[in-house]
Structure 1
Amino acid sequence: MTTLPAHALQLRGVWLRLGHEVILRGVDLDVAPGEGVTLLGENGAGKTTLLRLLASSLRPTRGEGRVMGFDLRDSRSVRDFVHLMPVDAGLYPDLTCAENLDFALRMHGQRGDVAAALGRVGLGPAAGRRGRFLSAGMRKRLALARASLLRRPVTLVDEPFANLDAAGRALVQELLGELRDGGVTLVVAAHEPALAQQVAPRTLTLAGGQLAEA
């Protein structure tokens, strides 16, 4: 039986400087395994940057962090547990929808039903269409299918409701809710708190480089 760490995500006194700009200022954070967190903040507040740091794509300038018990600076270990769904979907434009999902599974040494995942998000007929020819909404749906297939223990989602109609937003809530129900730790950066909080009820606000409970 696998023992979960006390915290899925933990930051202590984290500062982050990019160039001459200080983005994070002494940030502390504790997120329990399976918890859902909605991250709010104005445009430019640093929400995306914080998600990238938690995914180990950025290293803190000062301070310490752990993800599923692993030091945040140990990128290889952290990335075994984390999936980041960026606002631009992060797809490979020359791969088809099906190939994008198959590649993601192989990169993580996983297996999954790609056809079923595409069908679930309404992209079954577009399985053979290359990523560069998808609309913004279709790219978002494909990224959602990838996150659902991978089911990483920590899933970080940047603006999942952008470029989606009402049906698409309901689908986001449904699939992210299923991840939470399966024990996945979610951090959702969004400008639609009422939608995000239904699957990630704890709310934090990032302002002036600091995190606070909302």
Structure 2
Amino acid sequence: MTGTPGTPATPDLFALQLRGVWLRLGREVILRGVTLDVPAGEGVTLLGENGAGKTTLLRLLASGLRPTRGEGRVLGFDLRDSRSVRDNVHLMPVDGGLYPDLTCEENLQFALTMHGQPGDVGAALRRVDLHGAATRRARFLSAGMRKRLALTRAHLLARPVTLVDEPFANLDDAGRQLVLNLLGELRAGGGTLVVAAHEPALARQVAPRALRLHAGQLTPAPAESA
């Protein structure tokens, strides 16, 4: 993988590529020589115990962290080119990453405005049964409501690459089915999806390829992890 920041090197082939990536945070080594190829449009479930580094890997793929050693590309853009990567990637962290003092409507409209996109905020809120809370600040939502709002934002933005951390947490069965529907539609639209989850049987319905992060290395997950 060669090229300069701002110039895609592998368009339309791979959404995500890592080569020999090491990541050290302080004294702790989180990733150890990770190599990864994710074709555009593929869905990947990321498995691993708590503390294995799944969240850290997602942050790195979103250019929120830089490798200590090795190199990576997102849709052909060098990970060092943070602006180009962030224009094409949406990361939904486990806490949703919402603005707590903005209302549900404002959170969605702000995201659309920042990306210069149109979108029907009202219809989006109705779909996830949050229309009654449209003018409520995010800080006053329940954990499940915040999760639904964050997923709605990811669905509205529909970035070429969507990275989702624990999307099924704090949701009942109906909420989990809604997650599957929204993420499934992102994939059906050609988006690339990486889902870090402790519910592999659910996650693999929309992201069939499973990888396990253990001791800083990625390996294919066995079928029984489903």
Residue in structure 2 matched with residue 83 of structure 1 by the alignment: 90
Alignment RMSD:
0.8
Residue in structure 1 matched with residue 44 of structure 2 by the alignment: 37
Q: Please give the alpha-carbon distance, in whole angstroms, between the structure 2 residues aligned to 1:24 and 1:106.
A: 35
Unaligned runs of 5+ in 2: 1-9, 222-226
Residue in structure 2 matched with residue 205 of structure 1 by the alignment: 212
Output aligned runs, 1:43-192, within 5 Å: 43-192=50-199
Deviations 1:99-153 (A, max 9, x none): 0000000111111000011111110110000011000000000001000000000
Q: Which secondary structure state, in structure 1, belongs to the residue aligned with residue 14 of structure 2? A: coil
TM-score between the two structures when normalised by the length of structure 2: 0.93
Contact 1:59 1:73 in 2 (8 A): yes
Q: Which secondary structure state, in structure 1, belongs to the residue aligned with residue 171 of structure 2? A: coil
Q: Please give the alpha-carbon distance, in whole angstroms, between the structure 2 residues aligned to 1:49 and 1:16.
A: 9
Give percent identity, aligned residues only.
82
Residue in structure 1 matched with residue 7 of structure 2 by the alignment: none
Q: Please give the alpha-carbon distance, in whole angstroms, between the structure 2 residues aligned to 1:49 and 1:19.
A: 13
Q: Give how far 1:4 is off.
A: 4.2
* Aligned-partner residue type, residue 177 of structure 1: G
Q: Please give the alpha-carbon distance, in whole angstroms, between the structure 2 residues aligned to 1:59 and 1:111.
A: 32
Q: Give how far 1:5 is off.
A: 2.6
Q: Which secondary structure state, in structure 1, belongs to the residue aligned with residue 56 of structure 2? A: helix
* Aligned-partner residue type, residue 147 of structure 1: A
Q: Please give the alpha-carbon distance, in whole angstroms, between the structure 2 residues aligned to 1:180 and 1:6.
A: 16
Deviations 1:38-61 (A, max 9, x none): 000000000000000000000000
Q: Please give the alpha-carbon distance, in whole angstroms, between the structure 1 residues aligned to 2:11 and 2:159.
A: 14
Q: Please give the alpha-carbon distance, in whole angstroms, between the structure 1 residues aligned to 2:65 and 2:180.
A: 28
Deviations 1:11-69 (A, max 9, x none): 00000000000000000000000000000000000000000000000000000000000
Q: Which secondary structure state, in structure 2, belongs to the residue aligned with residue 175 of structure 1? A: helix
Q: Please give the alpha-carbon distance, in whole angstroms, between the structure 2 residues aligned to 1:72 and 1:204.
A: 21
Does residue 13 in structure 1 map to residue 20 in structure 2?
Answer: yes
Q: Which secondary structure state, in structure 1, belongs to the residue aligned with residue 180 of structure 2? A: helix
Q: Please give the alpha-carbon distance, in whole angstroms, between the structure 1 residues aligned to 2:94 and 2:49.
A: 15
TM-score between the two structures when normalised by the length of structure 1: 0.98
- Number of residue pairs matched? 212
Q: Give how far 1:6 is off.
A: 1.3
Q: Which secondary structure state, in structure 2, belongs to the residue aligned with residue 8 of structure 1? A: strand
